[in-house]
C-alpha cells in the first residue's frame, strides 16, 4: 500500500513519513499544494493525508481538482484547528475523513487503515485468505497461526494482494503500489518477492495468471 502525505511542516511530515513507513507503507511526501496536486493526479495512491493549510495551492483546491479529474482515492484531511467550517468545506470537496491538529499518530493510522480497507471492500482490520492472516494493525502475517517474518517489500506485495483478493493484479500495478516515488523501480523484482512469499506461505496462495499478473485466492484444500 502506498500513501501520499501532503504536509508543509517539515517536522510533522517527517514524523508521519517514519510512522507510516514503519507501519509497512510506501510513502511519498509533498510540501506544497502544487506538488501534492501533481502527484495525486499522476500516481496511484491507496490513500492520501492532506493538510488543508498548504502553500502555493491550498488543500481544498487540491482536493477539488483531484475529484474534478476523477481521482477517487481515499483522502483524509488535516485541519489546523478544530474549526468546524474547515471540516465541512473539506468533506464537501470530497474528503473521506478528517483529523484536527494536534492528533495522536495511532488515531491517524487507525483512520487510514479503515479508509484503505473500506475502499477495497473489507470490513475487518484482519485480512484472511485460507490459512494466511494479515493483521493490518500490527503489520503482522501468520500462516496457520504461526507468525511468518516478511521483509518490508514482501509485506507490501502481500498486503496489496490481500486487499484485492480474487482480482488479477498486473506486475505494473503491484510495482506502483509497493514502491515510493524515489525508489529505483524494477518490475522484475516483483517476481522475486512473489517467489519468496510462495516459499514462506505455500505455493498455492498466489497464482500466476499468464501474461496478466497475479491473483491471490483461497487455496482449495486447507492444510
The correct pick among 12, 21, 53, 135 for binding Ca ion (CB under 5 A) is 53
Q: Are strands 132-135 and 2-6 parallel, antiparallel or unpaired?
A: unpaired
Contact region with Ca ion (CB under 5 A), list: 38-46, 52-60, 138-146, 193-201: 52-60
Task: Enter the C-alpha cell of residue 125.
Answer: 482490520
For residue 215, give the C-alpha cell.
491473483
Residue 86 binds Ca ion, judged by CB under 5 A: no
Decide: is 8 part of the binding site for Ca ion (CB under 5 A): yes
Determine the Cα angle at 109 with ends 108 and 115, to 5°.
90
Question: In this chain, which stretch among 45-53, 107-115, 156-164, 185-193 interacts with Ca ion, using CB under 5 A?
Answer: 45-53
Query: Quick one: 9 or 176, whose CB is closer to Ca ion?
Result: 9
Contacts of 80 (CB under 8 A, 6+ apart): 51, 52, 53, 86, 100, 101
Coil/strand/helix, residue 167: coil
Of 28, 46, 51, 96, which lies in the binding site for Ca ion, with binding defined by CB under 5 A? Answer: 51
The span of 51-59, 108-116, 153-161, 181-189 binding Ca ion (CB under 5 A) equals 51-59
Binding footprint of Ca ion on the chain (CB under 5 A): 8, 51, 53
Amino acid at each position: 500500500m502506498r500513501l501520499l502525505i501532503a504536509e508543509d511542516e517539515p517536522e510533522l511530515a517527517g514524523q508521519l513519513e517514519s510512522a507510516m513507513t514503519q507501519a509497512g507503507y510506501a510513502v511519498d511526501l509533498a510540501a506544497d499544494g502544487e506538488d501534492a496536486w501533481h502527484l495525486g493526479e499522476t500516481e496511484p495512491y491507496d490513500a492520501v493525508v492532506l493538510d488543508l493549510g498548504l502553500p502555493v495551492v491550498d488543500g481544498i483546491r487540491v482536493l477539488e481538482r483531484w475529484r474534478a479529474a476523477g481521482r477517487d482515492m481515499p483522502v483524509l484531511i488535516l485541519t489546523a484547528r478544530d474549526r468546524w467550517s474547515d471540516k465541512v468545506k473539506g468533506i464537501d470537496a470530497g474528503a473521506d475523513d478528517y483529523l484536527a491538529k494536534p492528533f495522536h499518530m495511532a488515531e491517524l493510522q487507525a483512520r487510514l487503515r479503515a479508509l484503505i480497507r473500506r475502499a477495497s471492500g473489507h470490513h475487518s482490520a484482519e485480512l484472511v485468505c485460507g490459512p494466511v492472516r494479515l493483521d493490518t494493525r500490527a503489520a503482522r502475517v501468520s500462516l496457520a497461526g504461526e507468525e511468518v517474518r516478511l521483509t518490508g517489500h514482501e509485506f507490501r506485495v502481500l498486503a496489496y494482494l490481500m486487499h484485492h483478493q480474487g482480482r488479477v493484479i498486473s506486475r505494473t500495478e503491484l510495482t506502483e503500489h509497493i514502491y515510493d516515488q524515489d525508489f529505483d523501480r524494477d518490475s522484475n523484482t516483483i517476481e522475486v518477492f512473489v517467489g519468496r512469499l510462495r516459499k514462506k506461505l505455500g505455493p498455492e496462495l498466489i497464482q500466476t495468471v499468464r501474461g496478466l499478473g497475479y491473483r491471490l485466492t483461497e487455496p482449495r484444500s486447507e492444510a
